Amino acid sequence: MKKSVFVAHVAKVYSGEDVQAVRNELMRDKKIAQATHNILAYRIRLDNGSICQDNDDDGETAAGKRLGHLLQLVEAENVVVVVTRWFGGTHLGPDRFKLINNAARQALEAGGFIEEQAKSATSKKTGRK
C-alpha cells in the first residue's frame, strides 16, 4: 500500500439525513477529519421501492463513483460506506481504486451488508487458458 492507509466505515441508513448524520459523527473524530480523503457512497431503498444513491469523491477523483458502483454490484441497500485515506507520500495511480474498494468490501462483509456470494461475484478471475 506504499504507506497510504485506507480504513472503511459502514453504517445502516434509511435517508439522506441518516447519511449526513453518519458523516458528521465520523468527522467528530479529529484523525478522520484530518485525513487526506473521506470517500463516501450510499445506496438506500425507499418506501416506494426505488433506489436513492449518491457519492462524494472528497477530492479523490472518480473514487466516489467507483465506490457507488461497488454498492450496485453487490446489491447493497440501506448502507453508507466511507473510505478514509491518509496519503502516504507515494501516488498510487489506478491501484488506489482497488485498495479503496477492497477496504469497502471487507467492511461491508464484516458489517453483514453483503454475503460471501456477493463478494465472490465481484471478484475477478485470473489465469490463462
Over residues 57-102, the pLDDT tens digits come to: 999 999 999 999 999 999 999 999 999 999 988 888 888 999 999 9
What pTM value is reported for the model? Answer: 0.86
Residue 35 CA to residue 87 CA, distance in Å, equals 8
Question: What pLDDT sits at residue 113?
Answer: 92
User: Is residue 77 within 8 Å of residue 43, measured between CB atoms?
Assistant: yes
- Domains annotated for the chain, with CATH where assigned, are 5-113 (3.30.230.30)
Q: Are 64 and 55 in contact (CB under 8 A)?
A: yes
